[in-house]
Amino acid sequence: MKPKKNSALPEWFTKEDIETVIFAFPDVFGRLMGKRMTLDHFVSDALESGMHACSYLMTVDIPMQVVEGFKIASWQTGFGDFCIRADLGTIRRLPWQQKTAVVLGDMLHHDGKPVEESPRRILSRQIQRLASKNQKAFLGSELEFFLFDETYHGARNKSYQNLTTASDYSIDYHILQPGKDEDILRRLRNEMTAAGITVECSKGETADGQHEVNLLYSEALEMADRHVLYKAGAKDIAFQQGKAVSFMAKLNTAQAGNGFHIHTSIWDTNKKANLFWDEKASAPSRLFKQFLGGLLAYSRELTYFFAPTINSYKRFQAGSWAPTAIVCGQDNRTCGFRIVGHGNSLRIENRMPGADANPYLAFAATLAAGLKGIEEKLDCGQIYMGNAYADSTLPRLPFSLEEAVSLLDASKLAHEAFGNEVVDFYVHTAASEVKAFAQTVTDWEKARYFEQI
């Protein structure tokens, strides 16, 4: 669990028998980077002065190779350090790590100014916009993953081919097959909740070996922190059990991919009421319609933040439970946005993100689009009825990372909401991924062209 007050930290460390503190921050891909510290060093030094980390961490690709061309850091600047300042409200014990606590931090330049390109900062700025209006966003994450009867080393040695999933058939809502995986699922539910990452439920999903875990909604930054800790912890627990989990967006061409559904509502911090609901009219409020209108108008140009990899776009297939159209329906899972709940539980489910998305960026993009809709007093129009997969008149999601990058680069909203340097940074990040894939020979190409061309 988490300490109730910062002043109680020494007693809390003693009570929880903590020996090691993981001091970490999320990178551009939503992975945790940082150091493991002895408790004495963290308390006597890092707690106040922070932690230093090489600036190259903001310029690497997923295999940790430096990508040249960034303004934020480079070989020319010598790759100095950033300072990471601890957010003491994030400290919690990790039950799946022996005598270990974790604290997340914010990235700063040497002059103490925030690194605007860092994901936690990008989300924090959208939260501040809401706070200036006495509003607060609550979000919830639903995350899907594949469970394999393989170790990570074994999967790598097989070149990720012919891997054995934990089940051989679709287990959507099944009770029988997930019961066979309870050695991991029970640990996920119980140990995450013990860490203050409250789990509502787990369930089987559509594809072979696929599961979903729903995290209880929370304030935006807290939810993003829980999300990245959950993903890291799920991999730790799987490793300890001799298994592997994958949050890759699309693992199998013929089966459903892994989604990350975002449930969003906006609340009045004074009245403690859901502003999406008009109590007098007993109906969705004007603000709800404007926020949804912003999502419908601007999500396409912000798709990169929901789908950040080459693989992400292979998830967007008709009939796959992932959306293909930017449209909203009432409890309609064929749509990119789904209206769920009633009264204070009314919320908008964004079904666009894959499980590979960085939650800080996905949340920030969701809020930025919705806030723009409120500012422009947009209307969401008629709620869609029917099968959105079959309707060719609807606006479509981008077909590729390359298309999404082009849309982001040209997005006036993105430049306004996040800043020119932030947009340029992520456009360059994505463009380097596009280039790397374009230069890689795939198994598909060999099977298609080896003999017959």
Predicted local distance difference test score (pLDDT) of residue 270: 83
Is beta strand 337-340 parallel, antiparallel or unpaired with respect to 328-330?
A: parallel
Amino acid at 30: G
- Which residues, in sequence order, are CB contacts of 250 under 8 Å at separation 6+? 257, 258, 311, 312, 314, 315, 354
CATH 3.30.590.10 intervals, the chain: 127-420
Measured between alpha carbons, how far is 349 from 90 in angstroms, rounded to an integer? 26
**With 70 as the cut, is the pLDDT of residue 246 above it?**
yes
What is each CA distance from 158 to 63, 150, 245, in whole angstroms? 18, 10, 15
Query: What are the pLDDT digits (tens) for 105-135?
Result: 999 999 999 999 999 999 999 999 999 999 9
Q: How would you class 155 by CB atoms within 10 Å of its CB: exposed for 0-12, middle for 13-18, buried for 19 or more?
A: middle
Average pLDDT of the chain is 96
Band (pLDDT 50/70/90 cuts) for residue 102 is: very high
Q: How would you class 180 by CB atoms within 10 Å of its CB: exposed for 0-12, middle for 13-18, buried for 19 or more?
A: exposed
Query: What are the pLDDT digits (tens) for 385-410?
Result: 999 999 999 999 999 999 999 999 99
Q: Taking the domain 6-113, which CATH number applies? A: 3.10.20.70
Measured between alpha carbons, how far is 28 from 26 in angstroms, rounded to an integer? 7
Q: What is the pTM of this model?
A: 0.97
CATH topology of domain 127-420: Creatine Kinase; Chain A, domain 2 (3.30.590)
**With 80 as the cut, is the pLDDT of residue 7 above it?**
no
CATH 3.10.20.70 intervals, the chain: 6-113
Query: What are the pLDDT digits (tens) for 153-199?
Result: 999 999 999 999 999 999 999 999 999 999 999 999 999 999 999 99
Count CB-CB contacts under 10 A for residue 406.
Answer: 17
Band (pLDDT 50/70/90 cuts) for residue 311 is: very high
